[in-house]
Amino acid sequence: MQEIVKLLNELIEKNLIKNYAVGGSIGMSFYTEPLVTFDVDVFVDVAGVEVSSFNSLYAFFKEKGYEFKGQHLLVEGIYLDR
């Protein structure tokens, strides 16, 4: 999870997203007992980000060696939903 947070913070630094929130089972685990899950639901704020920046997002992930598998991005063994 630390790698995912590091990656999301880097996206903010590069102005590719404005902010993010973690949801789903991972987000819920901050308030309840931990659950087994194989993905992280991430909500990103792209308000004010130019549409052409979405190509920059894909380029960013590709440069890092990550690829989309269907609707998921596999990061350090954890699936991120897009």
**pLDDT tens-digit series, residues 1-48:** 778 889 999 999 998 899 988 876 555 555 566 666 666 778 888 888
Phi, psi of 22 (to 5 degrees): -95, 130
Reported as a pLDDT band with limits 50, 70 and 90, residue 81 is: low
Count of domains for the chain: 1
Range of the domain at 33: 2-81
What tokens does 40 get?
């992280």
Q: Which residues of 29-65 are buried (b: 16+ CB within 10 A; e: fewer)?
A: eeeeeeeeeeebbbebeeeebeeebeeebeebbeeee
Q: For the whole model, what pTM was predicted? A: 0.69
Helix spans in 2-52 (H): 2-13, 24-28
